[in-house]
Amino acid sequence: MAKMRAYDLARELGLESKDLLEQAHSLGIEVKTASSSIEESDAELIRLAIAEANAPAVVPEPEPASEPEPAPDREIKLVSVPANPSVADVANALGESAVTIVGALVRRGVLAGAGGPMPLDYLDAIAEQFGAIIETEAPPPPAPKTSRRPSFDDAPADLVERPPVVTIMGHVDHGKTTLLDTIRKSNVVAGEQGGITQHIGAYQVQVGDRLITFIDTPGHEAFTALRARGAEVTDIVVLVVAANDGVMPQTIEAISHARAAGVKLVVAVNKVDLPGADPMRVRTMLTEHEVVTEDLGGDIPVVEVSALTGLGVDSLLELIDLIAQLEDFRANPKPAASGVVIEAQLDPGMGPTATVIVKRGTLRTGDAFVAGQTSGRVRAMMDWAGNRETLADPSTPVLIMGWDEIPIAGDDFEVLSNEREARARAQERADVARDASFSTPATARERLANLLEQLRADEAELRVILKADAHGSLEALRESLGKIKREGGRIEIMHGAIGGINENDVKLAEVTEAVVIGFNVRPDGKTRRLAESKGIEIRTYGIIYELLEEIEAMLVGRLAPDQVEVVLGTAEVRAIFKVPRLGNIAGCYVTEGEIVRNAKARLLRGGVVVFDGVIGSLRRFKDDVRNVASGFECGIGFAGFNDIKEGDTIEAYQVNEVARV
């Protein structure tokens, strides 16, 4: 094939050589230097691209007649590409070279590089041109956190059907507790003592001749706490969304948690009895978070219910049962039992008790066991209805008496051959834990450095939890982050939402090994401390490009030399005073650390940064002071800023330079 030199082509097109090289690069054509040679076909592509770029903007022709039509008898293939594919991904799927696809795009008036994102508006047209129907795959579920759960190779013949374990999640006040109560009352498994139910943290209901196990500490608090400790006990998450309220922050969090855990999701649109209920709006809102219900052509089952009147609750149970049959949850009931502690307490009469959900094997009275650093022997077992039991098979929750100490929710439970062995195992674990506590826990920075080290090693995936002050900035960030790419590297947004950084964000970051990124939002004191104790990195920014720059640096496994912020103190605004000449002064109570005059400070409203400046005036009673410690009241004023409201938080901070990691 004919070739020409790059600089000849540059001259022909009236370009600087370096511009030509850049143009070639953006088209995915490798041209090293001006004296490198270029294939004629590539040269043609570059000519086209330049011509297009110089042409007056025209609406691209959707169907250029000159395109090679697929031969009529050619079979149409069905191919798939990952979500947000690159041009190269599309080329790959179509079995064409990237340059061919770039060329086809250029002919449609779109400049795209082979490694760059595929313009999605043209995806179908390009696929059609090459005789294919293309579908985008749902983004892959994040790899589950390496589970501490041992894997068993039970013989298929030993596996028997077991009930699904269901957790109910959703926004506060959307009706989780009510739904759990209604389910419990509607389909009770009759208890011998006339159904005196005992709160043991889980219960079972009957659908036909099968059972469903519900964990009845609702909400993602319990769910994440269990998951954070490596315990994966839930099979199905029922997402409760109130039809009068729609998708709310914790709804989105619940979706992210369920997705991160890779469990089945079912939507229960609740409160449909209310006059203001708009169940369709709930479905539409959910699509914005990639939860597309079956009636909208997606794969997430949905039912409308009223937890209050009981309407639709039977359908929900039938649906869960159906999913369980399709998913075919099974376990081997033969071996010694193992499971997970889901709740534990000290009972005045019975001593330490804990509820365990058996995951494999059968638990019997008299069995010796270890859970976390605690051991014991099953003295007695009780089901949720208060019935004494002598055995519990997979997916059955039972309250166990006979613990030496109170275990912790999320502990792995395991039956051993005798009490002596169980005790020794518990002791061993306690020793290991004590040794570990002597070595200092990893700081957020060390942990991040570790994550970055891994990024450098294999195919890089930087997971982020993104919080922002407004819908517009969140969307802008999503889009810009989607564009940051490097060879084999990508950014996975595990969860994105509007609002201050909260403890759930930190927990999700822990289980998904993500970094929490805030744009114009901040964590509160409790969240900050949780993050510190868990070694979770929280980075906050007020300028988009700084955020993007740092994330890009992280993706290539490098942390920009940076400045680390130290919060000096926080104060709560309890009253506003108008002072002549000074403007509005906030009457504050210092809740943490100290507030320092002339320090940098932010005014936060619901975790969102409303103002970032400097503390102009700081007074105690009538006196100007240099600093005010926690537990004291003071007056704080910002020079030239008056929009302070009761209930706001003032956060004084300092910026320290930190060496490169």
Residues that bind ligand GDP (CB under 6 A): 170, 172-178, 218, 270-271, 273-274, 306-308
Nearer to ligand GDP, 309 or 598 (CB): 309
Which span (171-179, 315-323, 385-393, 519-527) binds Mg ion, by CB under 5 A?
A: 171-179
Nearer to Mg ion, 136 or 177 (CB): 177
The closest of 70, 91, 69, 66 to 81, measured between CA atoms, is 91
256 binds, among ligand GDP, Mg ion, none (CB under 5 to 8 A by kind): none
Nearer to Mg ion, 177 or 584 (CB): 177
Which span (175-183, 378-386, 535-543, 626-634) binds Mg ion, by CB under 5 A?
A: 175-183
Alpha-carbon distance of 512 to 227, in angstroms, equals 10
Q: For the purposes of burial, counting CB atoms within 10 Å of the CB of 353, is it exposed (0-12), middle (13-18) or buried (19 or more)?
A: buried
Cβ 222 to ligand GDP shortest distance, Å? 12
CB atoms within 10 A of CB 153: 6
State the number of binding residues for Mg ion (CB under 5 A).
1
Query: Which residues touch 53 (CB under 8 Å, ≥6 apart)?
Result: 111
Alpha-carbon distance of 447 to 657, in angstroms, equals 19
Cβ 441 to Mg ion shortest distance, Å? 33
Query: Which residues touch 416 (CB under 8 Å, ≥6 apart)?
Result: 336, 368, 369, 370, 422, 425
Cβ 311 to ligand GDP shortest distance, Å? 8
271 binds, among Mg ion, ligand GDP, none (CB under 5 to 8 A by kind): ligand GDP
Cβ 242 to Mg ion shortest distance, Å? 12
* 115 three-class SS: coil
| Residue 420 structure tokens | 């002596």
137 binds, among ligand GDP, Mg ion, none (CB under 5 to 8 A by kind): none
Nearer to Mg ion, 177 or 198 (CB): 177
Angle (deg, nearest 10), helices 444-457 and 544-555? 60
Which span (170-178, 522-530, 610-618, 649-657) binds Mg ion, by CB under 5 A?
A: 170-178
> Residue 178, interface with Mg ion (CB under 5 A)?
no
Cβ 242 to ligand GDP shortest distance, Å? 7
Which span (176-184, 192-200, 322-330, 346-354) binds Mg ion, by CB under 5 A?
A: 176-184
Cβ 249 to ligand GDP shortest distance, Å? 13
Alpha-carbon distance of 374 to 429, in angstroms, equals 9
Query: What separation, in Å, do the N-terminal and C-terminal C-alpha atoms of the chain show?
Result: 50
* 203 three-class SS: strand
273 binds, among Mg ion, ligand GDP, none (CB under 5 to 8 A by kind): ligand GDP
**Residue number with the shortest CB distance to ligand GDP?**
175
Alpha-carbon distance of 466 to 126, in angstroms, equals 33
- Report which DSSP code applies to 294: G
What one-character-per-residue DSSP string does 347-381 give?
ETTTEEEEEEEEEESBEETT-EEEETTEEEEEEEE
Query: Which residues touch 145 (CB under 8 Å, ≥6 apart)?
Result: 227, 230, 511, 512, 513
Query: Which residues touch 241 (CB under 8 Å, ≥6 apart)?
Result: 170, 171, 174, 247, 251, 267, 268, 269, 270, 282, 286
Q: Parallel, antiparallel, or unpaired: how do β-strands 77-81 and 132-136 relate? A: parallel
173 binds, among ligand GDP, Mg ion, none (CB under 5 to 8 A by kind): ligand GDP
359 binds, among Mg ion, ligand GDP, none (CB under 5 to 8 A by kind): none
Cβ 171 to ligand GDP shortest distance, Å? 7
In this structure, the chain runs to a length of: 661
Nearer to Mg ion, 97 or 177 (CB): 177
39 binds, among Mg ion, ligand GDP, none (CB under 5 to 8 A by kind): none
Cβ 180 to Mg ion shortest distance, Å? 8
Which span (111-119, 169-177, 368-376, 440-448) binds Mg ion, by CB under 5 A?
A: 169-177
Q: Please pick, from the candidates 41, 177, 345, 584, the single residue that binds Mg ion as defined by CB under 5 A.
A: 177
548 binds, among Mg ion, ligand GDP, none (CB under 5 to 8 A by kind): none
Alpha-carbon distance of 524 to 570, in angstroms, equals 9
Task: Give 622's Cβ-side CA count (13 Å radius).
Answer: 0
28 binds, among ligand GDP, Mg ion, none (CB under 5 to 8 A by kind): none
51 binds, among Mg ion, ligand GDP, none (CB under 5 to 8 A by kind): none
- The secondary element (H helix, E strand) that includes residue 484 is none
Cβ 206 to Mg ion shortest distance, Å? 24
Cβ 173 to Mg ion shortest distance, Å? 8
270 binds, among Mg ion, ligand GDP, none (CB under 5 to 8 A by kind): ligand GDP
Cβ 268 to ligand GDP shortest distance, Å? 10
* Residues that bind Mg ion in the complex, under the rule CB under 5 A: 177
